Amino acid sequence: MVGTMMERAEALLVRWAAAAEKYRHRVVGDPTMGCYGPGYIHWGVQANWNYAAAMATLADRRQASGAADAGHWRARAHSALRFALATHLTGDRTGNDGRQWGHSWISMLGIERGMHGVPLLAEVLTEGDLNALHRVLVSEATWLLHDARRGVHEGVVAARWNSSGCNVPESNIWSGALLWRAAQRYPDEPDAGDWMERAHTYFINGVSVPADAEDQAMVAGMPVAARYVGANYFANYALDHHGYLNVGYMAICVSNAAMLAFDMQKARLPVPESLYHHQADLWQVLRRFIFGNGRLARVGGDSRVRYSYCQEYLLPALLFAAHALGDSHALSLADGQLALIEEEMAASPDGTFYGNRLGRMRDTNPHYFTRLESDRACVLSMVLNYLPLLSPPAKPVDDFETSVAGLWAEPEHGAVVHRSAARLASFAWRANGLTQGLCLPPSDPRAVSSAEWASNLAPVVRFLGDDGGQHRRLLAHTIETFPGGFVTCGAVMEGVDIRVDEGAQCTDQATTHLAFAALPDGRTCVGLHLVIAAEDRLGYLTELKGLHLNIANDCFNGFRRDFRAASGQWIFASPPLEDETVTLDSTWMSVDDVVGVVLLYGSDGLVVDRSEARRGGRYQSLFVEEVCSSVQRGLIPTGPGDVLVDVGFALLSGGMASETAAIRGGQLGADGVLVRGVWVEGVDGARYEVVADFATGTAQVQIV
């Protein structure tokens, strides 16, 4: 497998390198320098470092096979590295936006991701190049030692909640990595010993948890508690980075440990013991959030482009897990991720990685597009550099789904997951945008390609003036777990702090009550949605959707979904010619025989909301079909206390059309104005009742 993976990674880089020539710029006044991407501060700096590493690696591979283009790609890498070093604060040039980079919480990230390519340029690096590299690394390490800060916070910081401004696990790890790297590369520097000690502090406060405050275990010569500053993770390894349950940045934390560990090993330099602090513990949680084909299951959503940045850096994390953390399934997951990259690149005729799916970004935002493209090129170069270092993986004692089966919950953060071979069921109250559920078979490629996170299985309630920002506020939530599943219940305030026209402002305009249960039959989930307008005001909705099951319909499934309903077969080719809402004339629906949904009360039938433009979050990176109990758009007045959504439904993971059509269930009588309940017959033949008392914010599941 290793040899084949390397051949495939190289082939991807060869094709991409030719396409990337369009995005490389010569530097005026110095023909020895070049820059990939616009070269602006922040993402531009990182994109250029990524490019340098990728081209250095490609040149090394091409030279080994006797290819004539090796020298060309080496020159490209060399010129990009020179530009990166010259435009640092210690250099003699500015970047393409007239500024220099360096001495920030993120400035060392580009260096860390690009350094695996530097040794491959040894034959062309001049004394001036080496002096420039020394100058940059020493300068960044010195800043981290004496002047480091994140906003108003100085030194090494850590905290669980993003709102503190100190939830910084990933930057603590890459800061520690640069300090360690500089100390090992330049051991005669007078501060080298202090750099190593500060690196240990950064690492201990990378993947840090509350229990570390009392942990007397010795790591790198000191008790963990002696270096502890704060917990970046919750006790069960939930991460609130960017203000939501951020599975992607859990992967980023592992990836930066992977880079330093592999680079040190390749250079035959010591790997710091503190680098591994809680990495194995974090991995045991993170691997539960990886689909069977290597794609991240973002159970807390994603605020950026789908299936990109954090997904890319899962690749080196998987190699690290296979090599250092004893994961016997990690290499096959990495192989699956390579296949996903190949699949997407095949759909992009311009030779870029994302030219199809992110064509709009390519044509309007080269600053971010080239950054994302370079991330993918960079991790492919890591595959080529790191795979040969791997120890032979142990043979798995069970299949992957068996190894990740079971329950995970972080009640304080408001997240719960139950996984089995037939169903990944999850709900996150503090997802990106709040409230997100999943119910799908985790290793069926047709189901995995359908996953789209935004407000999945939660009502969409948007009021006049909603600019797409966070206009919701979590009020309360409860989570109860039991063998084989869970039930969660809570409420969210809608229409919060919205400006309308000049000076007008509205807030707290409706309350969404929501319950979600994963039943012990291992395949069925149940949802209850109740949205009520505020009792004391008039509001104006612009969009309202109930149920809201997202089904991605993009390049990963051939732009085609097969829906079956009581009314027959519906083939949805993507994209549609225009925005449309299709009425299915059915209370049940199955998509591709992998996910089924059945209305239990509250609507006469299902509808499918379609868009000719990509949706999938802020950067519109996926075509998505939205299966809803109702869809309303335009200006919709709401009166005090109006019931806006009131619906109950069942979901069947792996739901073939015949199975979905046969599901029996219905509404239960209510004992209170804010009580809702349903019954449904599970695939195990048992009758389940799910009852939510939204007045108390509690719900329960009973077998009758």
pLDDT tens digit string along 33-79?
Answer: 999 999 898 899 999 999 999 999 999 999 999 999 999 999 999 99
* 8, 15 Cβ separation under 8 angstroms: no
Per-residue confidence (pLDDT) for residue 468, from 0 to 100:
80
8-state DSSP, 578:
S
Alpha-carbon distance 233 to 209, whole Å? 5
* 150, 166 Cβ separation under 8 angstroms: yes
Among 112, 104, 105, residue whose Cα is nearest residue 167: 105
> SS in 3 state form for 372-417?
HHHHHHHHHHHHHHHHHHCCCCCCCCCCHHHHHCEEEEECCCCEEE
Q: Is 285 helix (H, G, I), strand (E, B) or coil?
A: helix
Q: Is 27 helix (H, G, I), strand (E, B) or coil?
A: coil
- Going by their DSSP bridges, the two strands 624-628 and 549-552 should be labelled as antiparallel
Banded pLDDT at 670 (limits 50, 70, 90):
confident
Return the higher-pLDDT residue of 527 and 396: 527
Per-residue confidence (pLDDT) for residue 139, from 0 to 100:
98
- Which pairs count as long-range contacts for 567-570, CB under 8 Å and 24+ apart, including other chains? 570/608
Per-residue confidence (pLDDT) for residue 679, from 0 to 100:
97
Alpha-carbon distance 150 to 147, whole Å? 10
Per-residue confidence (pLDDT) for residue 654, from 0 to 100:
93
What are the distances in angstroms from CA 550 to CA 21, 336, 448, 597, 609?
A: 37, 23, 12, 12, 10
Q: Is 502 helix (H, G, I), strand (E, B) or coil?
A: coil
Residue 559 backbone class (left: φ over 0; alpha: ψ -120 to 50; beta: rest):
left
Q: How many CA atoms lie within 13 A of 107 on its CB side?
A: 23
Among 309, 342, 302, residue whose Cα is nearest residue 47: 309
Quick check: 502 pLDDT over 80? Answer: no
Banded pLDDT at 3 (limits 50, 70, 90):
confident
533: phi then psi, degrees, rounded to nearest 5:
-65, 155
Alpha-carbon distance 440 to 71, whole Å? 48
In this structure, what is the dihedral angle of CA atoms 48, 180, 89, 110, given to the nearest 10 degrees?
20
Per-residue confidence (pLDDT) for residue 392, from 0 to 100:
81
Per-residue confidence (pLDDT) for residue 655, from 0 to 100:
85
Percent of the chain with pLDDT over 90: 91
* Mean pLDDT value across residues 663-669: 94
Quick check: 252 pLDDT over 90? Answer: yes
Question: Domains, the chain, ranges and CATH?
Answer: 2-389 (1.50.10.10), 406-703 (2.70.98)
* Mean pLDDT value across residues 283-307: 97
Q: In angstroms, what is the C-alpha Rg of the chain? A: 26
Residues 6+ apart with CB under 8 A from 601: 647, 648, 666, 667, 678
* 611, 399 Cβ separation under 8 angstroms: no
* Mean pLDDT value across residues 217-238: 98
Quick check: 420 pLDDT over 80? Answer: yes
Peptide bond into 575 cis (omega under 30): yes
Among 491, 517, 514, 493, residue whose Cα is nearest residue 416: 517
| pLDDT tens-digit series, residues 370-381 | 999 999 999 999
Residues in the chain: 704
* Mean pLDDT value across residues 414-423: 97
8-state DSSP, 582:
E
Quick check: 1 pLDDT over 80? Answer: no
Per-residue confidence (pLDDT) for residue 127, from 0 to 100:
97
> Among 500-504, 529-533, 563-567, where is mean pLDDT lowest?
500-504
Burial pattern 559-580, b for ≥16 Cβ within 10 A else e, equals: eebebbbeeeebebebbbeeee
Enter the pTM of the model: 0.96
Residues 6+ apart with CB under 8 A from 684: 520, 521, 522
- Going by their DSSP bridges, the two strands 539-546 and 460-463 should be labelled as antiparallel
Among 440, 406, 397, 442, residue whose Cα is nearest residue 421: 442
* Mean pLDDT value across residues 392-412: 93
Among 517, 301, 282, residue whose Cα is nearest residue 418: 517
* Mean pLDDT value across residues 111-121: 98
What are the distances in angstroms from CA 284 to CA 224, 321, 355, 460, 543?
A: 21, 10, 34, 33, 40
Per-residue confidence (pLDDT) for residue 529, from 0 to 100:
98
Per-residue confidence (pLDDT) for residue 672, from 0 to 100:
82
Quick check: 193 pLDDT over 90? Answer: yes
CB atoms within 10 A of CB 225: 14
| pLDDT tens-digit series, residues 508-551 | 999 999 999 999 999 999 999 999 999 988 889 999 999 999 99
3-state helix, strand, coil in the chain (%, to 5): 35, 25, 40
Per-residue confidence (pLDDT) for residue 669, from 0 to 100:
87
Alpha-carbon distance 234 to 161, whole Å? 9
Per-residue confidence (pLDDT) for residue 504, from 0 to 100:
80
Banded pLDDT at 485 (limits 50, 70, 90):
very high
* 510, 461 Cβ separation under 8 angstroms: yes
* Mean pLDDT computed over every residue of the chain: 96
Per-residue confidence (pLDDT) for residue 275, from 0 to 100:
98
Per-residue confidence (pLDDT) for residue 29, from 0 to 100:
83
Among 509, 503, 504, 458, residue whose Cα is nearest residue 645: 458
* Mean pLDDT value across residues 663-680: 92
